[in-house]
Amino acid sequence: MNKDRDMNIVVLPGDGAGPEVSAEAVKCLELLSDHCGLDLRFETLDFGGAAIDTAGSPLPDSTLAACKGADAVLMGAVGGPRWDGRPEMPEAGLLKLRRALGLFANLRPARVIPGLEALSPLRADVAEGADVLVVRELTGGVYFGERTFSEEAASDLCVYSRAEIERIAHVAFQAARRRGRKVTSVDKANVMATSKLWRRTVVEVAEQYPGVALDHMYVDAAAMALVTNPRRFDVILTENMFGDILSDELSVIGGSIGLLGSASVGETGPGLFEPIHGSAIDIAGLDIANPSGAIASAAMMLEHLGLADMGHILGEALRKTLLAGCRTADLGGSARCSEFGETVREYLRRRLVHYDVHLELVTMNRGCCA
């Protein structure tokens, strides 16, 4: 238990529905902080389109400096038609932040929650038991290669070094050891040079993990298998763009893109925690977005901060809320974003009554033994 720890969390609500969903996550964290002897301090800063409006840049230097100095960064989402086509779009700020913080590993866990199979657009017998972690490489590939553009032709260069592939492969194999001991590496090695190096490098890294099974799939076949046989996957290891696309597909197997949180981490320094969805412009400002992905991201943040017990408590409160039938519109319900968040906090309060008792007992015991 990490009592008496104080931590600085930079919150980047961003654009569209980002501020709505991240506000619910922050309120959950504040509740946990108040009850559990923590001192989580939040600094909320403009980012993305909001920062273009106020500071002329999606990632102002002051925001980047605050993120670098934080214990963790919690983000909503960025982007929207207002800023589309600008020389520096909100999305460019996000890429710059990921790169500046060295966040090469993006972890996107998705599962069909037992009892909630009916939320899946897939048949229950196909969806049942699906539990997949996408390990997406986040600071390389076509996202960061040189680009050219003219009215007649354009190009995006895709580059991967062996070292970049090795370090993300280690993340995937280590995660698989803690889960179902299987890695599926997804590439396009029948076409792309980067994928050929990817496959060769992953095979070499796999030798260090004899207890973990490895197989390979081409990305097109993987996209198909995700919706025909999602249980065949445990950890999916893949490059930046394939991971982006496959994780949106995977998210709806559980019911909605609004459900998935993510952790982006590097070797050192603060992690960035954000739902996988975008700014959901079509529903922004209506208080109807699903804050589950933002709350799940907050739970992952707690875990990465060494507060796994609190992350677990938050994740459980989220699961209970969904199982109790509290659902936002994307899941066919009528709960507002704020109502959903409040229901999660209601479960947290109930749980924390027991936690307080537990805390007192631990403190008393410590007192006795001292």
Smallest gap from residue 79 Cβ to ligand NAD (A): 2
Q: Within 227-246, which residues bind Mn ion (CB under 5 A)?
A: 244
Neighbours of 149 (CB within 10 A): 9
Please identify which residue in 7, 25, 75, 94 interacts with ligand IPM, judged by CB under 6 A: 94
Q: Toward ligand NAD, which CB reaches closer, 21 or 38? A: 21
Q: Toward Mn ion, which CB reaches closer, 244 or 330? A: 244
105 contacts 168 by C-beta, under 8 angstroms:
yes
370 contact partners, CB below 8 Å, separation of at least 6: none
328 contacts 288 by C-beta, under 8 angstroms:
yes
Q: Closest Cα partner for 18 from 285, 347, 266, 259?
A: 285
Q: Where are the alpha helices (DSSP H) in 305-336?
A: 308-323
Query: Is 220 among the catalytic positions?
Result: yes
Q: Indicate the DSSP class of residue 138.
A: -
Query: Is 3 among the catalytic positions?
Result: no
Q: Within 271-330, which residues bind ligand IPM (CB under 6 A)?
A: 276
Beta 147-149 vs 154-156: how paired, if at all? antiparallel
Query: Is 248 among the catalytic positions?
Result: yes
Query: Is 71 among the catalytic positions?
Result: no
Q: How far apart are CA 305 and CA 70, in angstroms?
A: 11
Please identify which residue in 80, 93, 141, 341 interacts with ligand NAD, judged by CB under 6 A: 80
Q: Which stretch binds ligand IPM (CB under 6 A): 68-76, 88-96, 155-163, 284-292?
A: 88-96
List the catalytic residue out of 15, 234, 244, 330.
Answer: 244
Tokens 């009554």, residue located = 353
- If one asks whether residue 257 binds ligand NAD (CB under 6 A), the answer comes out as yes
Query: Is 209 among the catalytic positions?
Result: no
Residues counted in the chain: 370
**Sign of the torsion angle spanned by Cα atoms 300, 304, 305, 308:** positive
Q: Which stretch binds ligand IPM (CB under 6 A): 90-98, 155-163, 286-294, 340-348?
A: 90-98
List the catalytic residue out of 156, 248, 287, 309.
Answer: 248
Q: Which residues are catalytic?
A: 143, 188, 220, 244, 248
The residues binding ligand IPM (CB under 6 A) are: 79, 91, 94-95, 244, 276
